[in-house]
A = this chain, B = another copy of it.
Amino acid sequence: MDVKNINELFKQDLSAINLGLESFADNLKNEGVKAIQVQWKPPAGGNMEIAGLLDKYDAIKIKVGTDEANKKAAEIINKGKPTLIDVSTAGESIPGMKKNMILHAGPPVTWDRMSGPTRGAVIGGLVYEGLASSYEEAEKVAASGDIIFEPCHHHSTVGPMAGIVTWSMPVWVFENKAYGNKSYCTLNEGLGKVLRYGAYGDEVMAKLKWMESDLAPIMKKTLDLHGEIDMKNILAQVLQMGDEGHNRNRAGTSLFIRELAPYMVMLDEPKEKISKVLKFMHENDHFFLNLSMPASKCIIDAAAGIEGSTIITTMCRNGTDFAIRISATGDDWYVAPATMVDGLYLPGFTEDDAAPDIGDSVITETVGIGGFAMAAAPAIVKFVGGTPKDAITFTTKMYEITETENNIFQIPVLDFRGTPTGIDVAKIVETGILPAINTGIAHKKPGIGMVGAGLVSPPEKCFLDAFKAFVAKYS
Return the CB mask of A413-424 against B: 1 if under 8 Å, else 0: 111100000000
- CB of A257 within 8 Å of the partner chain: yes
Which residues of chain A from 6 to 39 have any CB-CB distance to chain B below 8 Å in the complex? none
Docked Cα-Cα span, A251 to B414, in Å, equals 20
Tallying the copies of this chain within the complex gives 2
- CB of A254 within 8 Å of the partner chain: yes
Q: Which of B255, B265, B281, B387 contacts A265 (CB 8 A)?
A: B265
Given that A241-B241, A378-B412 are known contacts, is A278 also in contact with B262, CB under 8 Å in the complex?
Answer: yes
B266 touches A282 (CB 8 A): no
Q: Which chain B residues border A387 with CB–CB below 8 Å?
A: 415
Q: Which of B265, B279, B282 contacts A274 (CB 8 A)?
A: B265
Q: Which of B279, B379, B415 contacts A262 (CB 8 A)?
A: B279
Return the CB mask of A253-272 against B: 1 if under 8 Å, else 0: 11101110111111000011
- CB of A43 within 8 Å of the partner chain: no
- CB of A388 within 8 Å of the partner chain: yes
Docked Cα-Cα span, A229 to B282, in Å, equals 15
B254 touches A412 (CB 8 A): no
Docked Cα-Cα span, A266 to B387, in Å, equals 42
Other A-B contacts than A240-B379, A254-B258, A389-B415, 18 sampled, CB-CB below 8 A, are A241-B251, A251-B251, A254-B255, A254-B257, A257-B257, A258-B258, A258-B261, A259-B282, A261-B261, A262-B276, A262-B278, A265-B275, A266-B271, A266-B275, A378-B412, A387-B415, A388-B414, A388-B415
Which residues of chain A from 276 to 322 have any CB-CB distance to chain B below 8 Å in the complex? 276, 278-279, 281-282
Given that A378-B413, A388-B416, A413-B388 are known contacts, is A281 also in contact with B258, CB under 8 Å in the complex?
Answer: yes
Q: Which chain B residues border A272 with CB–CB below 8 Å?
A: 266
- CB of A104 within 8 Å of the partner chain: no
Main secondary structure of the interface of A (DSSP, over half): helix
- CB of A242 within 8 Å of the partner chain: yes
- CB of A232 within 8 Å of the partner chain: no
Chain A residues touching B, range: 35 or more
Q: Which chain B residues border A388 with CB–CB below 8 Å?
A: 412-416
B240 touches A263 (CB 8 A): no
Q: Which chain B residues border A282 with CB–CB below 8 Å?
A: 258-259, 261-262
Return the CB mask of A364-404 against B: 1 if under 8 Å, else 0: 00000000000000110100000111000000000000000
Q: Which chain B residues border A259 with CB–CB below 8 Å?
A: 282
- CB of A250 within 8 Å of the partner chain: yes
7 of the cross-chain contacts (CB-CB < 8 Å) are: A237-B250, A251-B251, A254-B255, A262-B282, A266-B275, A378-B413, A379-B412
Q: What are the 10 tightest A-B residue pairs by CB atom distance, in nearest-first order?
A: A378-B412, A254-B254, A262-B279, A240-B379, A262-B278, A379-B412, A241-B242, A257-B258, A261-B261, A258-B282
Q: How near does chain B come to A4, taking the closest CB pair, in angstroms?
A: 25
Which residues of chain A from 226 to 260 have any CB-CB distance to chain B below 8 Å in the complex? 237, 240-243, 250-251, 253-255, 257-259
Q: Which chain B residues border A281 with CB–CB below 8 Å?
A: 258
Docked Cα-Cα span, A389 to B415, in Å, equals 8
Q: How near does chain B come to A393, taking the closest CB pair, in angstroms?
A: 13
Given that A241-B250, A379-B412, A412-B388 are known contacts, is A265 also in contact with B271, CB under 8 Å in the complex?
Answer: yes
Docked Cα-Cα span, A275 to B413, in Å, equals 36
B278 touches A265 (CB 8 A): yes
Q: Which chain B residues border A278 with CB–CB below 8 Å?
A: 258, 261-262, 265
Q: How near does chain B come to A226, taking the closest CB pair, in angstroms?
A: 11
Q: Which chain B residues border A276 with CB–CB below 8 Å?
A: 262
Docked Cα-Cα span, A415 to B240, in Å, equals 18
Docked Cα-Cα span, A251 to B255, in Å, equals 9
Given that A254-B258, A279-B262, A282-B262 are known contacts, is A412 also in contact with B242, CB under 8 Å in the complex?
Answer: yes
Q: Which chain B residues border A251 with CB–CB below 8 Å?
A: 241-242, 251, 254
Docked Cα-Cα span, A285 to B126, in Å, equals 45
Docked Cα-Cα span, A381 to B410, in Å, equals 14
Docked Cα-Cα span, A240 to B380, in Å, equals 9
Q: Which chain B residues border A416 with CB–CB below 8 Å?
A: 388
Given that A255-B254, A257-B257 are known contacts, is A262 also in contact with B240, CB under 8 Å in the complex?
Answer: no
With CB as the reference atom, state the residue of chain B lying closest to A237: B250
Interface centre among A264, A265, A274, A388 (most CB of B within 10 A): A265
Q: Which chain B residues border A253 with CB–CB below 8 Å?
A: 258
Given that A388-B416, A412-B378, A416-B388 are known contacts, is A257 also in contact with B266, CB under 8 Å in the complex?
Answer: no
Q: Which chain B residues border A415 with CB–CB below 8 Å?
A: 387-389
